[in-house]
């Protein structure tokens, strides 16, 4: 099990803790705060922790809104000490000596700063930025933001940072990289990641809006073309109930095979009551086993195979069997065929009532067209 480092960062004591607000910006740079366990070998007057950061900002007459931590470790202090006080905390692991070649870190830094400023445009909240000493990585990224996003020159950005922090950027390669960044910005050679994200996000938003409009238009068109009005519904109900009355008043319907009482249906004063009555009578006439099967079918039936409901080529209205037909039905083959046809007709009527019960107007309209031709 590895030992926890309790060593103070090299040269940390040589730099003053915090400068002043960088002129023309909302940035304030400082060296990393250290928790108490890392300050055991430091003079008490040189201690600098999260509480000291907040006190220094208050001394400047400002408030701290966000802290961007550029150190490549989590051992220096507990970020909860900031967040519990309402200060936003952003961690960007930034290895030393290589930030000038890490455009991904630059883009993440710019993105987080832009995000904070967009959420707090009119508030006087400061953005604290620190690395180990609060000079090289901190100075480079703050200067890059001023060059890339605020169109400052490299000299102006580095000069403002030096005046605010009290120290100049020490690494020559960082200074050269900042001058290159200014040249690339002027020539437009660098396509910045946050701009690419913004463009792709805007394009995706436009495409999504187009799809929503197209779906809404299609839905509206289907609704106006498939929903029947009240007169059509009433007319269809009358035709359906009339057909059922014809079946039930005929000798075939009242036969023991069909199992239906020879009583006419009441008028369609209530579509819901009529539907339930007819459905109950049809289920009751199928016998114990068969009725149970059909009841389960009605309860769990989906929308499949609805296109094949009326494709058997038979006459749509129920066939009334006369005495001759009844005599012919005495033979087993004829009786079996008549029974099959009756079951098929009963199944179609059950499907009709099932659709009416569901209230799906487009299905009702299609059934109306197929059955009655209007």
**C-alpha span between 127 and 86 (Å, rounded):** 13
Kind of pairing between the strands at 27-29 and 125-130? parallel
Phi/psi at 125 (nearest 5 deg)?
A: -90, 135
Q: 39, 94, 131, 150: which one is catalytic?
A: 131
Are the C-beta atoms of residues 102 and 94 closer than 8 Å to each other?
yes
Are the C-beta atoms of residues 17 and 30 closer than 8 Å to each other?
yes
Question: Structure tokens of 171?
Answer: 């690494």
Q: What is the DSSP string of 321-348?
A: P-HHHHHHTTSHHHHHHHHHHHHHHHHH
**C-alpha span between 100 and 140 (Å, rounded):** 8
Are the C-beta atoms of residues 298 and 278 closer than 8 Å to each other?
no
Task: Classify residue 114 as exposed, middle or buried by CB count within 10 Å of its CB (0-12, 13-18, 19+).
Answer: middle
User: Is 131 among the residues known to form the active site?
Assistant: yes
Helices and strands, number each (H, E), in the chain: 13, 4
CA triplet 94, 96, 102: central angle to 5 degrees? Answer: 55
**C-alpha span between 298 and 356 (Å, rounded):** 12
Task: Catalogue the active-site residues.
Answer: 131
């Amino acid at each position: 099990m590895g030992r926890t480092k309790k060593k103070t960062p090299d040269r940390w004591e040589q730099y003053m803790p915090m400068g002043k607000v960088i002129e023309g910006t909302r940035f304030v740079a400082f060296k990393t705060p250290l928790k108490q366990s890392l300050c055991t070998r430091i003079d008490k007057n040189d201690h600098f922790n999260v509480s000291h950061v907040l006190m220094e900002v208050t001394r400047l007459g400002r408030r701290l809104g966000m802290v961007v931590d550029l150190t490549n470790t989590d051992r220096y202090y507990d970020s909860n000490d900031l967040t519990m006080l309402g200060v936003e905390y952003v961690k960007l692991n930034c290895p030393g000596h290589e930030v000038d070649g890490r455009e991904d870190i630059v883009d993440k830094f710019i993105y987080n700063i832009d995000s904070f400023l967009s959420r707090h445009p009119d508030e006087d909240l400061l953005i604290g930025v620190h690395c180990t000493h609060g000079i090289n990585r901190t100075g480079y990224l703050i200067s890059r933001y001023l060059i890339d996003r605020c169109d400052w020159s490299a000299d102006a950005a580095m000069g403002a940072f030096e005046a605010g922090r009290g120290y100049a950027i020490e690494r020559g390669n960082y200074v050269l990289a900042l001058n290159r960044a200014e040249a690339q910005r002027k020539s437009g050679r660098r396509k910045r990641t946050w701009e690419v994200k913004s463009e792709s996000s805007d394009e995706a938003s436009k495409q999504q809006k187009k799809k929503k409009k197209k779906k809404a238009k299609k839905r509206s068109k289907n609704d106006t073309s498939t929903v029947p009005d009240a007169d059509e519904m009433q007319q269809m109900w009358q035709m359906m109930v009339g057909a059922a009355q014809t079946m039930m008043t005929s000798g075939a319907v009242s036969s023991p095979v069909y199992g239906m009482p020879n009583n006419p249906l009441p008028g369609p004063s209530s579509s819901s009551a009529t539907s339930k009555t007819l459905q109950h009578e049809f289920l009751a006439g199928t016998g114990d086993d068969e009725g149970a099967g059909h009841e389960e079918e009605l309860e769990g039936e989906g929308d499949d195979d609805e296109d094949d409901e009326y494709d058997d080529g038979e006459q749509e209205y129920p066939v009334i069997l006369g005495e001759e037909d009844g005599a012919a039905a005495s033979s087993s083959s004829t009786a079996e065929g008549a029974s099959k046809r009756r079951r098929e007709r009963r199944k179609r009527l059950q499907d009709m009532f099932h659709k009416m019960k569901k209230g799906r107007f487009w299905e009702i309209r299609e059934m109306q067209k197929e059955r009655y031709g209007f």
